Amino acid sequence: MKTYHGSCHCGAVRYEADIDIGAGTIKCNCTICTKMRFWAAVVAPSAFRLRQGEAALREYRFHTRRDGHHFCGECGINVFSTGESPSAGPFVAVTVGSLDDMPVDDLVAAPVRYFDGRNDNWVTPPAETRHL
C-alpha cells in the first residue's frame, strides 16, 4: 500500500489515495464505463482523501443512481467514482489516468479485472474486453 496523488486535467481537483496497485485494477463494459474507457483502482473510502476542488466537482448518476461519477466541472475529467458493492461494501474507484505519480511500469504490471456491468453480471467477466 502506497499513497499516490491524483488530479483532473486543469488541476482544480486534487486528491490522495492509498493504493495497493499490485492487487490490480478494474475495467467494465457498462454504458458509462465504455464511453469514458473507465480504468480504475478501487480503494476503501477511508483510503481516499479529497485535497482540493470540492466546489469544482460535479456528480453524475444514472439508471439505479447507485454509483456516483465525480468529474471536474471545468475540464470534464472523471477523477473518481463512488458506489457500494453488494460483496465489498462502499468503495471509491479512482481513475488510473488521473493519477499523477503512479509509475507506468507498476500500472501495466498490475492485473486487470474485467466486469460485465452491461449485463449487471459482476461474477463472470465479459467475453470481449479488448475495446475496454
Q: Where are the beta strands (DSSP E) in the chain?
A: 2-7, 14-19, 25-28, 39-43, 48-52, 57-60, 68-72, 78-85, 89-95, 112-115
Contact region for Zn ion (CB under 5 A) — 10-18, 79-87, 93-101, 111-119?
A: 10-18
Contact region for Zn ion (CB under 5 A) — 12-20, 32-40, 94-102, 114-122?
A: 12-20
According to the binding rule CB under 5 A, does residue 10 interact with Zn ion?
yes
Number of residues that bind Zn ion (CB under 5 A): 6
Evaluate whether 72 touches 61 at the Cβ level (below 8 Å).
no
- Of 29 and 98, nearer to Zn ion (C-beta) is 98
- Tell me the three state secondary structure of residue 107: helix
Q: Report, in Å, the least distance between residue 129 CB and Zn ion.
A: 29
- Of 38 and 115, nearer to Zn ion (C-beta) is 38
Site for Zn ion in 55-84 (CB under 5 A): 72, 74-75
- Tell me the three state secondary structure of residue 90: strand
Chain centroid offset of residue 89 CA = 15
Q: Which residues bind Zn ion (CB under 5 A)?
A: 8, 10, 12, 72, 74-75
